């Protein structure tokens, strides 16, 4: 079946512009996660949704970052007034259950964001 999809795969923007990154999880998956991965590092947690409810946003670096999942399926991560330090790979993952400790997260291909 189809895996997690993300769009766009690559995004180049100018500093100060807003960007929206989209994630389409595996069908039927309850939980959705966003991570950010800098070059040479492992992914770092940004935020977590259980259905449409954003239950953990402790990893969002500042208030320029926001995320939503209004119908409990597709999610959008929005970065306002982008800065060069926002350049990274943004990864989305989904899991079948409600974030249980043993639940497996399945990742999408990521969106490579470059802020000029």
Partner 1 sequence: AQSVAQPEDQVNVAEGNPLTVKCTYSVSGNPYLFWYVQYPNRGLQFLLKYITGDNLVKGSYGFEAEFNKSQTSFHLKKPSALVSDSALYFCAVRDMGGGYNKLIFGAGTRLAVHP
Question: Does residue number 100 form part of the binding site for partner 1 (CB under 8 A)?
Answer: yes
Closer residue to partner 1 in complex, CB, 46/115: 46
Question: Does residue number 41 form part of the binding site for partner 1 (CB under 8 A)?
Answer: yes
Q: Near partner 1 by CB under 8 A, which window of 21-29, 39-47, 62-70, 78-86?
A: 39-47
Question: Does residue number 25 form part of the binding site for partner 1 (CB under 8 A)?
Answer: no
Write out the two tokens for 18.
């807003």
Question: Does residue number 58 form part of the binding site for partner 1 (CB under 8 A)?
Answer: yes
Count of residues near partner 1 by CB under 8 A: 29
What's the rounded Cα separation, in Å, for the pair 32 and 5? 12
Burial (CB count within 10 angstroms: exposed 0-12, middle 13-18, buried 19+), residue 82: buried
Q: Which residue has the tokens 């500042």?
A: 62
Write out the two tokens for 16.
């100060």
Q: Among 75, 108, 113, 115, which residue sits at the site for partner 1 (rule: CB under 8 A)?
A: 108
């Amino acid at each position: 079946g189809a895996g997690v999809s993300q769009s766009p795969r690559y995004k180049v923007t100018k500093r100060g512009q807003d960007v929206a990154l989209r994630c389409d999880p595996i069908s039927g998956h309850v939980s959705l996660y966003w991570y950010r991965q800098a070059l040479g590092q492992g992914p770092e947690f940004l935020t977590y949704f259980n259905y449409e409810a954003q239950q953990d946003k402790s990893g969002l670096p500042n208030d320029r970052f926001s995320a939503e999942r209004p119908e409990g399926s597709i999610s959008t991560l929005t970065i306002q007034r982008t800065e060069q330090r926002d350049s990274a790979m943004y990864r989305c993952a989904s899991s079948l259950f409600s974030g249980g400790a043993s639940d497996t997260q399945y990742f999408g291909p990521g969106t490579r964001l470059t802020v000029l």
